[in-house]
Amino acid sequence: MSVLVDESTRLAVAGITGKEGSFHTLNNRRYGTNVVGGVTPGKGGQDVEGIPVFDSWEQAAGEVQPNTAMIFVPPRFAADSILEAAAAGVELVIAITEGIPAHDELRVYNTLKRDRAGGHSTRLVGPNCPGILSPGKANVGIIPASFFKQGNVGVVSRSGTLTYQIGNEIAQAGFGCSSIVGIGGDPVPGSSFVDIIELFQDDEQTELIVLSGEIGGSAEEEAAEYIAEHVSKPVVAYIAGFTAPAGKQMGHAGAIVSGSAGTAAAKALALEAKGVRVGRTPTEVAEIAIEILGGVATDRRSIPHSGHTAGSPIGQQLR
């Protein structure tokens, strides 16, 4: 098992004919993901290295029955593309696009919520996220799969590269992941920590959950409450942004401390109050995870290094 994406994934990609869209779609296919189609209005009938392109989500749904959508279109078209994929009955929409207006995200979130109440059930992950990887099964998005292997750690994160950092340290210690889910760094994400932690709690393969959060909003605090009530598996957390000043947006649209709310310290406290161990560095998170998994590293993965002494001036070595 794993969560959200696996061998049963049938992926179609909005924006497949773009440079980024085609590059990552083909990467995903190379990994083994079943890519069944793409959507670009006006380019129906073409193909991208054998992947059929359709004019609309409705058409793609009728022809190739995707159960997963990846959104790679520019911000101004992304909200409509997400909603069209949902309307066509696609169950899971993963939005990679960065820079979607917050009001569009609000409209999308509330539309999907309303339609869920009406019996439709589309789950949105992202936007502004790196996607989802279930090692050994499927990769949907831009997560570099080579740093991860199959295992029993479930990772959910607001940040991409920070996830790679933590995941890589866990992998180097010989452990792998069930799934890595990027929920994105925007103010109104389609899925929250709670939504994904719920899936990991129910997933047989997952034995430990790593939550990687950051400043802004209150999603980490809400996760702390949820974990205390509903999660029996161990959870290790990391929060980025202890040194971030209030009022300054740190890259992600959602990463901003406003007033006294949303600080890293408050989030770490909220999690620790509910028994979640919080690592102070990405390395410490990996160490805690490894400790909990009961493991001394057994099959430490060797990553080739160029052999120079760490910390020494590169220039001097050649002299």
Partner 1 sequence: MDLLEYQGKQLFARHGLEVSAGKAVSTVEDAVEAANEVGYPVVVKAQVLVGGRGKAGGVKLAADEGEAREHAQNILGMDIRGHTVRTVWIEHASDIATEYYASVLLDRSAKQPLVIFSVEGGVEIEQVAEQSPEKLVRHHVDALRGLSREEAVEIATEGGADSDVIEGVADALVALYEVWLEEDATLAEINPLIVTPPTNPLGGSAAEGQAGGRRVKALDAKVSLDGNALYRHPENQGLSDSENEDPIERRAKEQGVQYVKLDGDIGILGNGAGLVMSTLDVVAQAGGAPANFLDAGGGSDAAKIQQAVELILANDAVKAVLFNIFGGITRCDEVARGLIAAFGEIGAGGHSIPFVVRLDGTNDVEGRRLLEEAALPNVHAARTMNEAAEKVVELAAA
Of the two residues 62 and 99, which places its CB atom closer to partner 1 in the complex? 99
Angle at 300 between CA 299 and CA 305, to 5 degrees: 145
Amino acid identity of residue 229, one-letter, is E
Q: Which residues contact 202 (CB under 8 A, 6 or more apart)?
A: none
Q: Measured from the CB of residue 314, what is the shortest distance to partner 1 in angstroms? A: 5
Nearest to 252 by CA among 199, 296, 221, 214: 214
Span of 50-58, 81-89, 116-124, 242-250 interacting with partner 1 by CB under 8 A: 242-250
- The rounded distance, in Å, linking the Cα atoms of 258 and 261 is 6
Is residue 226 part of the contact set for partner 1 (CB under 8 A)? Answer: no
Nearest to 217 by CA among 251, 266, 156, 180: 266
Is residue 148 part of the contact set for partner 1 (CB under 8 A)? Answer: no
Q: Measured from the CB of residue 54, what is the shortest distance to partner 1 in angstroms? A: 26
Q: Which of 120, 230, 252, 305 is catalytic?
A: 252
Q: Measured from the CB of residue 8, what is the shortest distance to partner 1 in angstroms? A: 26
Is residue 254 part of the contact set for partner 1 (CB under 8 A)? Answer: yes
Is residue 121 part of the contact set for partner 1 (CB under 8 A)? Answer: no
Is residue 306 part of the contact set for partner 1 (CB under 8 A)? Answer: yes
Is residue 185 part of the contact set for partner 1 (CB under 8 A)? Answer: yes
- The rounded distance, in Å, linking the Cα atoms of 291 and 268 is 20
Q: What is the dihedral of CA 110, 114, 117, 122, to 10 degrees?
A: -70
Query: For this structure, is 120 an active site residue?
Result: no
Interacting residues with partner 1 between 99 and 118 (CB under 8 A): 99-104, 106-107, 109-111, 114
Pairing of strands 131-134, 138-141: antiparallel
Which residue from 211, 214, 263, 276 is in contact with partner 1, where contact means CB under 8 A?
A: 214
Span of 3-11, 155-163, 199-207, 269-277 interacting with partner 1 by CB under 8 A: 155-163
Q: Catalytic residue positions? A: 252
